[in-house]
Structure 1
Amino acid sequence: MRLLLTGAKGQLGHSLTQYTPAGWETLFADKVMLDITRESDIERIVCNFKPTIIINAAAYTLVDNAENEKEKAYSVNVNGARLMARAAKLCGASFFHMSTDYVFDGQSFLPYKETDECCPINVYGDSKRKGEIAVLEENGDAIVLRTSWVYSEYGQNFLKTISNLIDQEKEIKVVADQIGCPTYANDIAKVLYQLSYIKNLPGGIYHYSGDTSLSWYDFSKMIASAMNKRDAIIQKVSSNEFQSVAKRPQFSVMDCTKILNLGIQLSNLEKGVQLAIHNLELVER
């Protein structure tokens, strides 16, 4: 296999670089090396490297900033995704593209299936949904993997933010009325590689997330427990009290039956949090 990975310095990109299967030839491209919104960059890299698999982990992911940087969000998440899907098809490479639970409005009381109607409530979610459509229009064999509430010891994410605040012994206020399934980035990386080995895998959308649904508040309490800081002061607040620029879905739980039927296990939340905290502590020593 010859793997071209975009977004290599992002949270998921970092995990993907750590778990690349032995014997694969790799090109880990960050934005400096490969700007996915520039067709000339894509043509140069793809023509020279000739990948057999492309994983597009590059994305504009700043949910609040996207409300004021719409052009940038759509450029990366729609046009960039389209160009990468097109390049993969032209060179005959398998194509994997990452997406998000934010394509849904969060008004359901049942886990969202891949076939459920999408109705994003913020610019980020809308750009990712339009990106899904663009990818599958360009390349019907592409795999679009939706995931949710990604955390790890890398990059910027909820787990790292909360653990830092706990270490600083600050009073923390966390939303308790938004429900989702936190997913460990390292597990997502492993699943992408598992999927790449499945022969004749039908193109389309697949859901993959953590195995436990809970609120951001409950997630923060779990993080505190993993840090042996059960006395951390964490207060519940509602979404209305915790003002953010972009609206968030109230319910982001996804039905992962389709991917489970492939023999793939969901990300174990308790194990993932323990590993992420352990790895963070190793870095800080």
Structure 2
Amino acid sequence: MRKILVTGANGQLGSELSVLSVSYPEFEWIFADRTKITLDNLELLNDQLNEIKPNIIFNCGAYTAVDKAETERELAFTINNLAVELIAKYTFENNVKLIHISTDYVFDGSSSSALNEEAKTNPINVYGESKLAGEIACLRENPDSIIIRTSWVYSKFGNNFVKTMQRLMQERDTINVVNDQIGSPTYAADLAQAMMVILESSDWIPGIYNYSNEDEVSWYEFALSIKELGGYNCNVGGISSSSYLTPAKRPKFSLLDKKKIKTLYNLEIPNYKQSLKKIFI
């Protein structure tokens, strides 16, 4: 029985993979939280991988505190770059399949059309820099690995924009949401399913892929969809990024072009609203 190791087990994607795993009993699943796989301690990490001996690794674990990364640069790079480098090296030396999760934050947001996998990277915050460094290390150490860039991830699990909006819309009469950052949300359960489609495909085609749900929206428009589906009475206003300053800059435009993954793996990707409805069931 092939063994799948999932890092970041308690995160949104790790949690959705855990739900999905019951549909794939032909695999032995190892869901590793920070105690089983310590991405911030490389010496320990190497020993842990050698002890688990997986056949497949889904590297969903990451340092994702975008604003805190501005002051915790070393920790962000340890987890998002050096740990990825070590995992990639391990997978290459032991003939282990690796799917590594990355982010739209590797882009600077200056594009006005959907970004494909060949688009120029130029991160504008430490988190994005650390994730791009991880991508480069991953493909250098294991050219046979698959990297999936995703964006605006949400789920029934963990902390995310959808949950925050649900809470605020019930607590307040009015909220303001940034209306000049454009992209597309990703329902973590959809991404988890896409990962299994790739794994079970007869073709393992290494390289970088983009995955998010379909459609182009701003955070403000996303919030309006949450309001509509949740039936909330809260008044939602749109504001510019300059009115809502954060320690880390965010890309203004990071809509991902998904043609490659749809074509090579025959994937049908749902519209974001179609998937968002599942949160309210």
Give the TM-score range, shorter chain: over 0.9
The Cα RMSD (Å) is 1.2
- Counterpart residue number, 1:203: 206
Matched with 1:186 is: 189
Which residue identity lines up with residue 277 of structure 1 in the other structure? Answer: F
**Conserved? CA contact 1:209–1:267, under 8 Å:** no
- Counterpart of 1:19 in 2: which secondary structure? helix
Q: Where in structure 2 are the equivalents of 1:24-173 lying within 5 Å?
A: 24-173=27-176
SS in 2 for 1:146: strand
State the 1:23 CA deviation: 2.3
2:236 maps to what in 1? 234
Q: How many angstroms apart in 1 are the aligned matches of 2:102 and 2:81?
A: 11
Query: In 1, distance between residues paired with 2:154 and 2:215?
Result: 14
TM-score w.r.t. the length of structure 1 is 0.94
Q: In structure 1, how many angstroms separate the alpha carbons of the residues matched to 2:65 and 2:101?
A: 15
**Contact 1:42–1:87 (8 Å) recurs in 2:** no
Give percent identity, aligned residues only.
39
Q: Which residue of 2 aligns with 1:13?
A: 14
What is the SS of the residue equivalent to 2:26? coil
| Separation of aligned partners in 1, 2:165 and 2:126 | 25
1:275 counterpart SS class: helix
Q: Please name the residue that 1:281 is paired with.
A: none
Give 5+ residue unaligned stretches, structure 1. 279-285
Shift of 1:201: 1.8
Q: Does 1:259 align with 2:261?
A: yes
CA distance in structure 2 between the partners assigned to 1:67 and 1:39 by the alignment:
22
Could you give the per-residue CA deviations for residues 40-72 of structure 1, whole angstroms, max 9, x where no partner exists?
A: 433333323321100000100011111111111
The residue matched to 1:240 in structure 2 has which SS?
Answer: helix
User: How much does 1:10 deviate?
Assistant: 0.9
- Per-residue CA distance 1:66-107 (angstroms, 9 max, x = gap): 111111111100001111111111221100100001100111
**Unaligned regions of 5+ residues in structure 2, if any?**
none
CA drift at 1:177? 0.5
Q: Distance in 2 between matches of 1:48 and 1:143?
A: 23
Shift of 1:232: 1.5
Structure 1 pair 82/267, CA: closer, same or farther in 2 (3 Å)?
farther
Paired position in structure 2 for 1:272 = 275
Once residues 91 and 45 of structure 1 are traced to their aligned partners in structure 2, the CA distance between those partners, rounded to angstroms, is 14
CA offset at residue 266 of structure 1? 1.8
Q: Contact 1:36–1:83 at 8 Å: present in 2 too?
A: no
User: Residues 260 and 266 of structure 1 are in contact (CA less than 8 Å); yes or no, is this contact kept in structure 2?
Assistant: yes
On the 8 A contact 2:170/2:234 being kept in 1, the answer is: no
Deviation larger for 135-144 or 85-94: 85-94
Q: Which amino acid aligns with 1:201?
A: W
Shift of 1:235: 1.0
Contact 2:211 2:261 in 1 (8 A): yes
Bigger shift: 68-77 or 266-275?
266-275
CA shift in 2, pair 1:170/1:41, >3 Å: farther
Of 223, 228, 231, the residue aligned with 1:220 is: 223
Could you report, residue by residue, the CA deviation over 1:166-209 in whole angstroms, capped at 9, with x for unpaired residues?
Answer: 11134211000110000100001111111111234221100111
Distance in structure 2 (CA, Å) of the matches to 1:84 and 1:181: 29
Letter in 2 for 1:268: N
Secondary structure of the 1:199 match is coil
Deviates more, 1:184-193 or 1:14-23: 14-23
SS at match of 1:63: coil
Q: Is the 8 A contact 2:39 2:78 kept in 1?
A: no
CA distance in 2, matches of 1:68, 1:15: 30
